[in-house]
A and B are shown apart, each in its own frame.
Chain A
Amino acid sequence: MSLKKFSELFDDLDSINSTNNKIEVLKRYFLSNEPIDNSWAIYLLTGKSNKRFISGRYLKNLFSQIHEYPQWLIDTCYLKVGDSAEVITLLLKNKTISKDKKLSNISLNELLSEIIPALSKLDEDEKNLEIKNVWETLPEDNHLIFNKILTGTFRVGVSIGLITKSISKLINIDEEIISHRLMGDFKPSIDSYEFLIKKNINLQELNSKPFPFLLANTIEDKIFKHSINDFQFEWKFDGIRMQLIKRSGNVSLWTRGQELVNESFPELVKKMSYIKDDFVLDGELLVWNFKEQIALDFSLLQKRINRKSPTRTIQIKYPIIFIAYDLLEINGKDIREIKLENRRIKLEKYFSKWQYKTENNISDIFKICDLIYPKDWSDVLTYKEKSRENNTEGLIIKKKTSIYSSGRKKGIWWKYKVDPMQLDAVLIYAKVGSGRRAGLYTDYSFALWKDQELIKFASAYSGLSNIEIKELDKWIRKNTIEKFGPVRSLKPEMVFEISFEKIQISKRHKSGIAVRFPRITKWRKDKKINDADSLENAYELMKKIS
């Protein structure tokens, strides 16, 4: 019965908006199901299983073959639905009526630990046959879950925080402990679930795992009323936030997304293991220009993230550095409860000790972040404006007396980001969105003037309100020049303010420029297309910055 129950849980979570109700539903589910199924449910709901066994395209092709549906028809359906797994689910309805539903009592565990892993070992013909077989013998209500897990697109409006809360309420133990237990590599098993819900807290077991990350909030005006001396100022780097842990000699690198990434950065793991002390550091991983002591672009870091066991050449081409912000634990002692200013003193003390006492040179891969010392709040602004020059996103402001709690705790850490660059551009193409935005034109391309011509310079998906999206969708349908599948070219009429973080020369784009994080910040209904910016304006912006 449990896959059926899990499908119902999915439907419930999908249709409940209130957080408290979601927690209630989850608690009820955990209480009434087997530990092994609960552990799989947690695994799925926390997004730890984004593994794609089979692509959406493959599944669509297979359906098309079995039921003799033309591919273009399935593609048209996709535009309306926005999710391959769901399209197939809807198309499969009533297709298998007479078959024996022998999988109707299958458990979530059987599906995830037997059927699906077995599938990926089969050759193509056997695999197709087996998927077809599952479709026919699995009750329709469970098709969506099956297809979504297969295609690695299982997502429902539940955050890891919500799961943490539910379990914490279920067994009456602090959220911090649960969130600690949930960190990192959660392997579904009876043991892992029992570990999660056990009532006695064993620090030893928790040892290999990172602490929950403390996150910064957006700047609030009220902090400007405080004395500048109450705060510590750091640059906000644009890398991967990470906890670097060394306990009992073993080093582990945990990202904020709770991934263990030792394999991607072996040179860092090796170097850090030379240090004699045990510790937990909170910091940022970056690709670094050692000559100029400046961070390199995030796109270079991306070349490292997904590559396991990088070659020596890659390691030299994209040299990394770990910049520590904070010391959370030292030689087995959790110091998160002491004040930031005192943790900083310890961090500096230990860092200089490590630098001089470690046999191998560690400074070519590890340093602590430099602090900034603005004189007053207007000086803070000056620093913030300078942050583009050193390739940072702005400043992080931390209260000196704060302790290291978890989550986006209010009133202790703030991010003060540099203002975005902006250009007014003309909407020229629109594309149908996917997922929740299926069937609506929500992916937009914008152009700037070059002489009398509009040249595409950026695409953006976000920034409009739902009401604006609907309004624009209507306008798009009425003002289409041409349709190419999901894309429409549009009458140039609408002007939008586009904000972005970075602008650089790019040979790959017709416009000759590329921008980072473009997004819509205003629908400039007050502007005509002749008021939009030109590529020349964009080049000027670029000059101003470098």
Chain B
Amino acid sequence: MRTKKEYLIRYKDGNLYCEHADIWIDPIKPVKKALITHAHFDHFTFGCEEYISTKETAILLKERVGDNIKIKTFEYGEEFKINGINISFHPSGHILGSSQIRFIFAEEKWLISGDFKLQKDETCKQYEIVKTDYLISECTFGLPIFKWDESNKIANDISKWITNSPEKTSLLFCYSLGKAQRLINEISQTNFKGNIYSHGSIHKINNIYREIGIDIKDTIKIENKKKIDELKGSLILLPPSLSNGSYLKNFKNIQTAFASGWMSIRALRKRSGYDKGFAISDHADWDGILEVVKKSEAKNVFFHHGDSEALSKYLVEKESINVLLFGK
């Protein structure tokens, strides 16, 4: 077995790093060359000399970092070379443009899962099974208590939640990139036929999705000082950052909910301060992670982004899979 230093990809200063190509994956500090799996804020930073991503991610990234960044883009599945390493992006099913990144070097395959989910999501490409020798996987929800319901069931629950309180304005908090668009489309297919409003930050991303060619159902941009009566019985999508501030004073007679995988646990639901929680996630649940680990045929697995202790022990004991630890 090799020492940690000899792995093609390893942890350095809290980020994934490939020394052979001097390339960082989703770095949270400015570096020379950064591969970006997707455009959520905790997966990139400002000030890198060069970014490399899928086309869709690049568009979203420019929206968030600025038009003047240097960014190279590739199609899903398209291979490119950096210092002798073959690199390619593959759909990870997390949000629009999200990808797994595969490295092939000296006949050794490495796969970085990025954030991923296996569940169906009309707003992005379905997760693609990629075979690998080494797998670096996220494990945000790496416990068997996490098992997602079908998204149309959750959408129906949301619809019921709104229509059961017709005299109220329903505020649904969710991440503005990815989750919001997925929810808008799912909810429009339910029995809820009232108005859907979205906050400026969400509205902006809806438009980008449409420009890229993803059909997001129309929503009304929420303007401040809307007539309160008009909002009775409608749904408003808002980013979680607005849940604590004075923003809610714009509304009268509201009920609030948060859409997140964590909402499957009653204690977290109660602690969240929202009236209601809907357990819908863009990450894989326990079974999803296990499926990916198995189908990837990886002999060696690393986990990051989450508490991996239990998951690792389970894979070692029950599935005889070699789980390795990065030295951080």
Contact = CB atoms under 8 A, between A and B. Distances in A.
B310 interface: yes
A436 B271 contact: yes
Interface string B124-149: 00000000000000000001111100
A26 B287 CA distance: 38
Among B143, B264, B313, which residue has the most Cβ atoms of chain A within 10 A? B143
A439 B265 contact: yes
B309 interface: yes
Interface string A433-444: 001111110000
A496 B327 CA distance: 35
A36 B264 CA distance: 32
Given A16-B275, A70-B317, A77 B267 contact: no
5 contacts: A15-B269, A83-B267, A86-B265, A93-B147, A437-B271
Interface in B150-174: none
Given A17-B275, A69-B144, A93-B147, A76 B267 contact: no
Nearest to A438: B267
Nearest to B277: A15
Interface in A67-120: 69-70, 72-73, 76-77, 80-83, 86-87, 90-91, 93-94
Interface of B is mostly: helix
A72 B271 contact: no
Given A435-B267, A438-B265, A94 B310 contact: no
B41 interface: no
Contacts of A77: 143-145, 310
Interface string B266-278: 1111110001110
B114 to A, nearest CB: 24
Contacts of A90: 144-147, 264-265
Contacts of A16: 275
Interface of A: 14-17, 69-70, 72-73, 76-77, 80-83, 86-87, 90-91, 93-94, 435-440, 466
B144 A73 contact: yes
Contacts of B266: 14, 81, 83, 86
Contact of B267 (A15, A70, A94, A436): A436
Given A15-B275, A76-B143, A436-B270, A70 B265 contact: no
Contacts of A93: 147
B265 A80 contact: yes
Contacts of A76: 143, 309-310
B314 interface: yes
A214 B146 CA distance: 46
A439 B270 CA distance: 13
A440 B270 CA distance: 13
A17 B256 CA distance: 11
A80 B265 CA distance: 8
A80 B145 contact: yes
A91 B310 CA distance: 15
Interface residues of B, number: 23
Interface in B229-287: 264-271, 275-277, 287
A16 B256 CA distance: 10
Nearest to B164: A12
Nearest to A14: B266
A466 B244 CA distance: 14
Nearest to B287: A94
Nearest to B160: A8
Among B267, B270, B309, which residue has the most Cβ atoms of chain A within 10 A? B267
Contact of A87 (B145, B269, B310, B317): B145
B284 to A, nearest CB: 14
Contacts of B268: 438-439
A81 B267 CA distance: 7
B118 to A, nearest CB: 14
Contacts of B275: 15-17
Contacts of A86: 265-266
Contacts of A436: 267, 270-271
A94 B143 contact: no
B257 to A, nearest CB: 8
A120 to B, nearest CB: 26
A72 B269 CA distance: 25
A516 B143 CA distance: 38
Pick the 4 closest A-B CB pairs, nearest first.
Answer: A90-B145, A438-B267, A76-B310, A93-B147
Contacts of A440: 271
Contacts of B147: 90, 93-94
A91 B147 CA distance: 8
A73 B314 contact: yes
Nearest to A68: B318
Contacts of A72: 310, 313
Contact of A81 (B265, B271, B277, B287): B265
A279 B195 CA distance: 64
Nearest to A483: B309
A440 B269 CA distance: 13
Interface in B310-324: 310, 313-314, 317-318
B267 A73 contact: no
Given A81-B145, A87-B145, A73 B310 contact: yes
Contacts of B271: 436-437, 440, 466
Contacts of A439: 265, 267-268
A69 B314 CA distance: 9
A90 B143 CA distance: 10
B160 to A, nearest CB: 10
Among A69, A93, A436, which residue has the most Cβ atoms of chain B within 10 A? A93
A65 to B, nearest CB: 15
Contacts of A91: 144-145
Nearest to A78: B145
A218 B313 CA distance: 52
Nearest to A77: B145
Nearest to B142: A76
